[in-house]
Amino acid sequence: MFGDMTGMMSKLKEAQKKVEETKERLHTVLIDMNSNDEKLKVTITANRTLKAITIDDDLLKDKDMLEDYLILTINKAIDRATTVHETEVAAVAKEGMPNIPGMDMFK
């Protein structure tokens, strides 16, 4: 019984380590998101850190429009980054989880 418990704890620690490594790797995964007309481009990491914004000169002439573009495009980039982040972390966590009867957290 305790051998099973020790093995299970070992697997949990290994899974936790892999999740942390994946989160660290996600700092290097870049996601580019463009506005619909491609006048604005946002680059963000899968950990949702903003890395770059590229703005077409036409947008610089209209502050209100630029603000709208920024909000919409950054929010789309954050949504995509969140999806990538959650998918990657869940896959690693599920892979490393020990099989505990009656506990399937990924259903």
Minimal CA–CA distance to 14: which of 96, 102, 103, 106?
96
Residue 101 lies in a domain: no
Residue 104 lies in a domain: no
Residue 11 lies in a domain: yes
Q: How many CB atoms within 10 Å of residue 24?
A: 10
Residue 107 lies in a domain: no
Residue 102 lies in a domain: no
Residue 69 lies in a domain: yes
CATH of the domain at 16: 3.30.1310.10
Instruction: Give the tens place of pLDDT for each residue, 14-72.
Output: 878 888 888 899 999 999 999 999 999 999 999 999 999 999 999 999 999 999 999 99
Instruction: Give the tens place of pLDDT for each residue, 87-106.
Output: 988 888 777 665 555 545 44
Q: Which domain holds residue 79?
A: 2-96
pTM above 0.85, yes or no: no
Residue 9 lies in a domain: yes
Residue 103 lies in a domain: no
Q: How many domains does the chain have?
A: 1
